[in-house]
Amino acid sequence: MSQSFPKGMDLDFDRHHLWHPYTSMLEPLPVYPVVGARGVTIELEDGRRLIDGMSSWWSAIHGYNHPVLNRAVSDQLGRMSHVMFGGLVHEPAIELGRRLVALLPDPLDRVFLCDSGSVSVEVAVKMALQYWHARGRPEKQRLLTVRSGYHGDTFMAMSVCDPVTGMHSLFSGVLPEQLFVEAPSCRFDEPWNEEAIHDMRLQLEAHAGRIAAVIVEPVVQGAGGMRFYSPRYLQRLRELCAEHDVLLVFDEIATGFGRTGRMFAMEHAAVVPDIVCVGKALTGGYMSLAATVASGHVADTISGGEPGLFMHGPTFMANPLACAVAVASLGLLDAFDWQSAVSRIEGKLRKGLAPCAAMPGVVDVRVLGAIGVVELERPVEMASIQKRLVDKGVWVRPFGRLVYLMPPYVIMDDELDILTLAVCETVREEVTGTR
């Protein structure tokens, strides 16, 4: 018997009972009822169609309702939707692990499949702590990171988000206190300046005996500010971590699977960390799934120490449905010239967002791969700007001082033109006060 829903969504129930992300239950932001999505278009209940500039928080890289991904879920559902991963294994998990190991550089080849991006960061931190415990260095418990970073909303992930801009200052007295240095000052396209790594080097020299790992988002700092920095920073960071015997963790949750023009952002620097976190686009936006992938050295060290096993095991770890659609998503990437698609999107974003640079109240316009950012002097008024973007036929979700685009890779040029024009018009309204 198929599931049916009453016609017309009960928005009053939604307002009073469904708690949306980053919203108040007393003064919730407006929501827009969705009845369908296909390609790069979201269909609202009132019949309006919106071109999606967000890829559903950067995950739906192939667009919506893709027949290959639909079939992968349907076929797997006919076999089994879920079995526990403790003591059991299934082909979708094996195939996904095989594909991830093939995509990632050596020596990243030990794959821990988990629930979400935030959880993959938790797993990476636990790996780092257990690694040093196994090596007889339990005092190495602190994490070092850069300001303006964002790594998720679970507790250890919150502790390495920017303490001011990372949306978690309320918990500052409860979270583990980590070490922070200034964000990289060298832009992606600027000549390298060794001063950019100075603060990081000083912290490692002073505290290496207590630091388990450095964790950063390679090249692109995502939700903490959408900043693009020099790949040379990662090369110097790799050297410093090796010099001071500290593990290096890359958070590729937002950047992985082609978003910056490379399969992984670390490839811009030709640098390999000890542990990497991936998620978001892993399943093409269909289901929640992430992975923490470690080197054999890290995995074997943990397994050889007390208690002789890794202390983590989510109930839905390696869910067969999620693994099957992830395999299909990676297969689509393999069969699709995504590099050309992302290069084309980059060119259109540069051209389409360029007019914003001359507007008063705009601090910066920057583009890298399939990421376009307009940074304003002042934070936007969320409810107002969201409505104006929807009225222009696009789905864009600004935050803070940033109006940004991360569209699906399958978006067409005319759809990109509509997106960038809507952003330019809306930014002009926002900075001039006209509506």
Check the CA dihedral 251-255-258-263 and report its sign: negative
| Contact indicator for 182, 147 with CB cutoff of 8 Å | yes
Distances (CA, A) of 368 to 188, 196, 371, 400: 9, 20, 5, 20
List 12, 22, 106, 189, catalytic entry: 22
Active-site residue, 280 included: yes
Pull the structure tokens for residue 431.
Answer: 């900075």
First to last CA, the chain: 49
Give the position of tokens 């699709």. Answer: 336
| CB count in 10 Å sphere of residue 87 | 6
Known active-site residue 131: no
> Which of 416, 415, 410, 406 shows the shortest CA–CA distance to 374?
406
The single residue of 52, 115, 251, 274 carrying the catalytic annotation is: 251
CA distance 225 to 273: 23
Catalytic residue, from 115, 280, 286, 404: name it. 280
Q: Residues 6 or more apart from 101 whose CB is under 8 A from it?
A: 108, 109, 111, 293
Query: Does 413 participate in catalysis according to the annotation?
Result: no
Alpha-carbon gap, residue 370 to 376, rounded angstroms: 20
Query: Is 126 known to be catalytic?
Result: no
| CB 398, CB 385: distance < 8 Å | yes
| Catalytic residue (choose from 64, 150, 229, 404) | 150
DSSP alpha helices (H): ranges in 256-319? 296-304
187 — phi, psi (to 5°)?
-70, 160
Catalytic residues: 22, 150, 251, 280
